[in-house]
Amino acid sequence: MSESILIIGGGIAGINAALNAADYGCKVYLIDDTASIGGMMARLDKTFPTNDCSICIESPLMYEVDNHTNIEILTNTEVRRVNAQNGTFTARLIKKAKYIDEQKCTGCGKCVEACPVSVPDELDGKIGGMRKLIYMPFPQAVPNVSVIDPRCRYGKMREQGACVGGCVVDCSQCRECPIALCVKACKEEGKDAVVLWQADRPMDIEVDGIIVATGIQSAEPATGLYGYNIYANVVTNTQFERLMNAGGPTAGEIIRPSDGKHAKKIAWIQCAGRGLAKGLPYCSKVCCMVATKQTIITKEHDATVEATVFYNDLKAYGKGFWDFYQKAKENGVTYLKARPYDVFEDPETRNLTVRYENMDTGEIEQQEVELLVLSTGLIPNENNKRLAKVLKIELDDLGFFKEKDPVLAPLETNVEGIYVCGGATGPIDISESVVQASAAAMKAVLH
Ligand SMILES: Cc1cc2nc3c(=O)[nH]c(=O)nc-3n(C[C@H](O)[C@H](O)[C@H](O)COP(=O)(O)OP(=O)(O)OC[C@H]3O[C@@H](n4cnc5c(N)ncnc54)[C@H](O)[C@@H]3O)c2cc1C
């Protein structure tokens, strides 16, 4: 049995693979290139088909991983080099500086309160989400420590009012910052955890197996697609998920980006961009159920909201998914088999008119809504190409990691000892990701 494995990606797949392997007595290095484990699931509101609170399910698992004696979590960490020899792998990891001493930080948040500069949040920026230059990735982050935006150092954010003011000294040359308010606030709490002069740290490990669990990304629509990036009230399904979320930028209020008013007429366009030159050439499997979930939750927030889903080909492939769709219809959601072809905005009301071909009647019709959601699909992680090169494993034509043989050798790659699971294999839901993660962990442990 393997004594140690490396898991690349700390979403729900990586977390489950880590817990399974660690329970078998394996030493696990779980790395993530962001500041916290959790992946996409940590940012969702509820999960289909049960509509349980997403973070309430994932957070106890993240806590278990954090406290498991066989698991070492390394966040802000990337794999730079991997060499295979006699069935084992040596890997060079780079732990990028958070400018925080993770042993000393207790996540008290005093540094965040002291920081004077807010910038748009990576995920929620377009719908008004802001974060400070020093910030917690999200309230349940693991590890529960702050992280500093690298742009804050060397006075780069001086124009935006960063507290380093006129200081021109390179932060990596100073060992004691007398100016930064986060440093002062931390010291006042008696902790001294903010380390602006911290550098990236290389780390070499030897493992018997590797699991790739780098997940998926939400596709960004092309500017102009159904008015996206032109009309303020056209958002993606990921942005809408954050609008519904009590932990999101609007504290769960489903309001319009243009004027902050509660939206009473909302439509979803499924397969947005699919088949277009810059769109996706494949079905992302989960979007129909994501939209169904979002309509049900929207109506739980406010039963008077009119919700319409423009769909082309409804996918309800999993256990309980068809009933879930029926539930949405019973709650008053309208499903229209239609092909939307354009959207225009009323400059006064900022409402949007969707023009579409009704595929049941063949008629050209139109509908006015206050908020429009584009279901744009899931794409491979942008770093897959680089990682595939480092690991010497293959990608499929779409950019996901290729299984050696989906029927006879699923989750295995062309390199013995390297396995894949979850969104790294293609668009997938959470329960399937968890099943694959358990199987990949078993294969890696028994390798
Ligand atoms: C809007 C939306 C709503 C959804 N709602 C639901 C739902 O209700 N129910 C459901 O079942 N599914 C839902 N899904 C799908 C669900 O998000 C995925 O099934 C799930 O996130 C897949 O988990 P994962 O661990 O494979 O990938 P991810 O959650 O993407 O996690 C991958 C992790 O790997 C890290 N990583 C990536 N590359 C590297 C690298 N090179 N080095 C180190 N770390 C790396 C990432 O930072 C990330 O933390 C939804 C998806 C979207 C977009």
Q: How close is the Cα of 172 to the center of ligand 1, in Å? A: 34
Q: How close is the Cα of 9 to the center of ligand 1, in Å? A: 9
Chain CA centroid to CA 107, Å: 21
Residue 376 beta carbon below 6 angstroms from any ligand 1 atom: no
- Per-residue pLDDT at 271: 95
| Pocket residue to mutate for ligand 1, from 286, 374, 419, 428, most atoms within 8 A of Cβ | 286
Residue 124 beta carbon below 6 angstroms from any ligand 1 atom: no
What value does the CA radius of gyration of the chain take, rounded to a whole number of Å? Answer: 23
Which residue owns the Cα nearest ligand 1 atom 14?
Answer: 429
Other C-beta atoms closer than 10 Å to the C-beta of 159 total 7
Q: How close is the Cα of 42 to the center of ligand 1, in Å? A: 9
**Domains, the chain, with CATH or none:** 4-94+201-215+381-446 (3.50.50.60), 110-188 (no CATH), 220-377 (3.50.50.60)
Q: Which residue has the tokens 């977390």?
A: 15
Q: In terms of Cα–Cα distance, which of 375, 374, 376, 424 is closest to 399?
A: 424
**Per the structure block, which two tokens stand in for 381?**
């992680």
How many whole angstroms separate alpha carbon 151 and alpha carbon 242?
Answer: 25
Residue 45 beta carbon below 6 angstroms from any ligand 1 atom: no
Residue type, 265: K
Q: How close is the Cα of 44 to the center of ligand 1, in Å? A: 10
Q: Per residue of the chain (447 residues), what is the pLDDT tens digit?
A: 889 999 999 999 999 999 999 999 999 999 999 999 999 999 999 999 999 999 999 999 999 999 999 999 999 999 999 999 988 999 999 999 999 999 999 999 999 999 999 999 988 988 989 999 999 999 999 999 999 998 887 777 888 888 877 787 878 888 888 889 999 999 999 999 999 999 999 999 999 999 999 999 999 999 999 999 999 999 999 999 999 999 999 999 999 999 999 999 999 999 998 877 778 999 999 999 999 999 999 999 999 999 999 999 999 999 999 999 999 999 999 999 999 999 999 999 999 999 999 999 999 999 999 999 999 999 999 999 999 999 999 999 999 999 999 999 999 999 999 999 999 999 999 999 999 999 999 999 998
- Per-residue pLDDT at 162: 87
Secondary structure letter of residue 219 according to DSSP: P
